[in-house]
A and B are shown apart, each in its own frame.
Chain A
């Protein structure tokens, strides 16, 4: 590319000023992906045209800007949630500081809720809280779209962008497979849908927060309602199905027979009309992905709203609001009769699961100093 101010050769002159280290996808690959620490969240792929998610791993499908003549970018490296700390900035910017629980983080309100929408309730994993919230945000025009996930009959998971409130139930139910939702969030924003209701696991929530604080911070019209799910771990589909298929076949079941998967009462359940298959939590140990092993965030501490089954009775969802705006949304939904409320949330069990997840990292640390 010719330029009149410098000669047409490529100068090797010195660079003045501190512009920091130059990082690229290669560094992300070496430090995270190849170390099996990648969570498959899709954050790196969200805004870069050269990166695409292939299943639950990012792949370079084009030339990085650095190869095409740019000096510095490193966006993928900077925003990866498995790489960064920086929680303090996120908490400062997005969450209420009034009440903080040592284990499950900053909060404004804690509720046990059940959706009063018949269709949502029917398909719901527990109380249908996430579906109800996104349904509400779409119906009231508060957001342009929802980024959720869906599954196929063999229980693979994929991101889904919905704009019609009634489409929200396409994502109903929990599935234990990684769905790189943050990539879909990037696509939605680039398509012009700037106000988004996003739901994801704690790593994905953090990825979105990184985008909000490091890439999108100057564009005020981008507004993301960040809904996080309680999470002990997720699974990579291939290792999950390989492990589970024989156990299902033992009981005469195919994966396509399964209607619900859940972790409750200390066990993993495959529910089907032909009968249930149960596994002890300890039996899941071999297929827990490496990146889940070093995660200590059970309650999605950085989200706007965190939702899970733990702490509420069967058929109800625990909902933690972490800032004023989110609490307003829940309160309004309750007022408008979109939610039934149960007064008591079992905080003890939430604490227990938060501690357990923290201990997992400690155990890993004492193990081999990793």
Chain B
């Protein structure tokens, strides 16, 4: 039972003037209600000004606010709280049937103590792809500490695997690596690579996060990245960064521009010859290295865990995994990259292809697989077709499409350019790919002419779609988040792609939904802004700002 008397303030979005006249009397009768007031647009700037004035003038100690919104962002009336010390208790109203009951209930509930919430002025960014990198740099530049945790030995994510980006044909590594390099250089960012988040406890403003860093068997403080360990290592692995098209040694960096440029040993599967240790001049090899556990205390979390590619084996009619020359979008990127296994040459069985067919919407817009559109595939296939045209002048290049979605800035122009480069667009999803002699045959129907066709090809590129990461369910549970019907992290509402229903946890990049690089970077900066706003509530920030 509250000692202070409560004022019920109704906004006209909840109850009209007439309704208030009706119910007002009843409400005033309720034990503990001092007064019933009303006003316009209480959540707006002027509305809050009025609230603040009234609270101060009338000495209101406790306020129940009736509003129509089913859910208001928690910080809506933050200004009122800060300027008056009174935190309005929101009662979302659907109708006035149970209004009196609900007011009684709200009054009789014990008010939560008016403590200033603790906000640790630090952020955790999970995932070191372009989204995580951008968010980290922005939050750090806003003056807050950032822990960037990345699962792989290097940051960079999928963008580091791309050759050129659409529509400008910028070299992906060239626009990414400057940002990558800025990360460890930034005083506010602590980069923890080859590590995963294993536990998240606490609440917004005061999260306690456990991060486990796997042993590289290389002392990062001593390793100079010289690579002599890899030179002397006799054991090869399929290179994961190169989509298993090329090889790496047991002592490796995933790619030459890795950040941090520190080697990692796949010690579980190596020969244990000991040569890397002998050859290392810096004495950086440490076979007894154990995993390191970090306990971090942060105010908010940005989730930027990225995406997986659709598993093309789920469409067996396209022969992926059966035929050597049916490859996926990312595999093509590695092949055409100068840092890839062929040095950028487009080669099939050692020779350039003569007839290339792209198939769009593999796994996307598909009743049997993912119903959504993967958003980037039309453009990346056009880009890849362009790259083939550049490298193999007289190859026949066909793109089998359903629709061409070239919606972004410069996209439509790029699509037209690619068509002018003699890339043929044939409408209709092929039904099957099979082998005839030395060549593959793509069978489909041209839905514009209505004619069935069999198209020969010696290279087929499947534009596989963006899907959620295989472990997104586990990560969602870890973070207390939901997944949407397609398995991506759920945003708070369709109009706000960054906030999640869990306060203090924000989303950036493809982990929320498929998107291209410009949109990812924009969303990442948006997430950084949200994080910075949240963290600006910390005592430290207030001291600095309000001093």
- B-binding residues in A (CB < 8 A): 1-9, 11-17, 19, 47-50, 65, 68-73, 75, 189-190, 192, 194, 215-216, 218-219, 221-222
Contacts and interface: CB of A to CB of B under 8 A. Distances in A.
A332 to B, nearest CB: 29
B295 interface: no
B273 A48 contact: yes
Contacts of A14: 245, 324-325, 327
Contacts of A47: 271, 273-275
Interface stretch (B46-54, B226-234, B531-539): B226-234
B179 interface: no
B232 A72 contact: no
Given A48-B271, A70-B235, A5 B335 contact: no
B150 to A, nearest CB: 8
A16 B311 contact: no
B241 A5 contact: yes
A5 B342 contact: no
Contacts of B161: 5
Nearest to A75: B234
Given A4-B158, A17-B341, 12 more contacts: A5-B161, A6-B243, A12-B321, A16-B246, A17-B342, A47-B271, A65-B235, A70-B237, A73-B235, A75-B235, A216-B275, A218-B279
A8 B307 CA distance: 12
Given A12-B321, A69-B269, A4 B152 contact: yes
Given A2-B471, A16-B341, A216-B275, A11 B243 contact: yes
A218 to B, nearest CB: 5
Contact size class for B? Answer: 35 or more
B321 A222 contact: no
Interface of B: 151-152, 157-158, 161, 228, 231-232, 234-238, 240-241, 243-247, 250, 254, 266, 268-275, 278-279, 306, 308-309, 311, 313, 321, 324-325, 327-328, 330-331, 335, 341-342, 347, 469-471
19 contacts: A4-B158, A5-B158, A5-B243, A6-B240, A6-B243, A6-B330, A9-B311, A12-B313, A13-B243, A14-B245, A14-B325, A15-B247, A17-B245, A48-B271, A50-B271, A65-B250, A189-B278, A192-B278, A218-B231
| Candidate in B157, B238, B328 with the most chain A CB atoms within 10 angstroms | B238
Contacts of B330: 5-6
Contact of A49 (B157, B238, B272): B272
Contact of B240 (A5, A65, A194): A5
B244 A15 contact: yes
Given A2-B471, A5-B152, A69 B246 contact: no
A218 B232 contact: yes
A6 B327 CA distance: 13
B321 A49 contact: no
A215 B309 CA distance: 38
A71 B247 contact: yes
A2 B275 CA distance: 27
A15 B236 CA distance: 13
A4 B306 contact: yes
Contacts of B268: 1, 68-69
Nearest to B158: A5
Contacts of A68: 268-269
Q: Which 7 A-B pairs have the closest CB atoms?
A: A49-B272, A68-B269, A47-B273, A69-B269, A14-B324, A72-B236, A190-B274
A226 to B, nearest CB: 19
A72 B245 CA distance: 14
Contacts of B327: 13-14
Contact of A4 (B151, B236, B238, B246): B151
| Candidate in A6, A75, A194, A221 with the most chain B CB atoms within 10 angstroms | A6
Contact of A70 (B241, B254, B270, B470): B270
B275 A215 contact: yes
Given A5-B152, A6-B243, A47-B274, A73 B234 contact: yes
B279 A219 contact: yes
A73 B271 contact: yes
| Candidate in B243, B275, B313, B321 with the most chain A CB atoms within 10 angstroms | B275
Contacts of A75: 234-235, 271, 273
A50 B271 CA distance: 7
B237 A69 contact: yes
Contact of A16 (B158, B245, B470): B245
A11 B238 CA distance: 10
Contacts of A2: 151, 470-471
B475 to A, nearest CB: 12
Contact of B238 (A48, A71, A190): A71
Nearest to B248: A71
Contacts of A50: 271
A199 to B, nearest CB: 22
B130 to A, nearest CB: 13
Contacts of B342: 16-17
Contacts of A15: 238, 244-247
Nearest to B128: A4
B244 A8 contact: no
A72 B228 contact: no
A215 B235 CA distance: 11
Contacts of A17: 245-247, 341-342
A190 B309 CA distance: 43
B235 A72 contact: yes
A17 B192 CA distance: 34
A71 B247 CA distance: 8
Contacts of B279: 218-219
B157 A70 contact: no
Given A49-B271, A218-B232, A3 B152 contact: yes
B254 A5 contact: yes
B275 A219 contact: yes
Nearest to B150: A4
B273 to A, nearest CB: 4
A192 B330 CA distance: 44
A221 B325 CA distance: 45
Nearest to B152: A4
Contacts of A221: 278
Contacts of A13: 243-245, 321, 327-328, 331
A178 B309 CA distance: 56
A71 B470 contact: no
A48 to B, nearest CB: 5
B308 A7 contact: yes
Nearest to B160: A5
Contacts of A69: 237, 266, 268-269
| Candidate in B228, B241, B266, B274 with the most chain A CB atoms within 10 angstroms | B274
A215 to B, nearest CB: 6
B245 A70 contact: no
A14 B275 CA distance: 30
Contacts of B347: 16
Nearest to A10: B244
A219 B321 contact: no
Nearest to B322: A12
A6 B244 contact: yes
Contacts of B241: 5
A196 to B, nearest CB: 13
Contacts of A72: 235-236, 247
A65 B270 contact: yes
Nearest to A14: B324
Nearest to A51: B271
A81 B295 CA distance: 54
A189 B279 CA distance: 11
B335 A16 contact: yes
B250 A3 contact: no
A222 B275 CA distance: 10
B278 A222 contact: yes
Nearest to B279: A219
A19 B313 CA distance: 26
Contacts of A11: 243-244, 321
| Candidate in B152, B269, B341 with the most chain A CB atoms within 10 angstroms | B269
A322 B341 CA distance: 42
B6 to A, nearest CB: 53
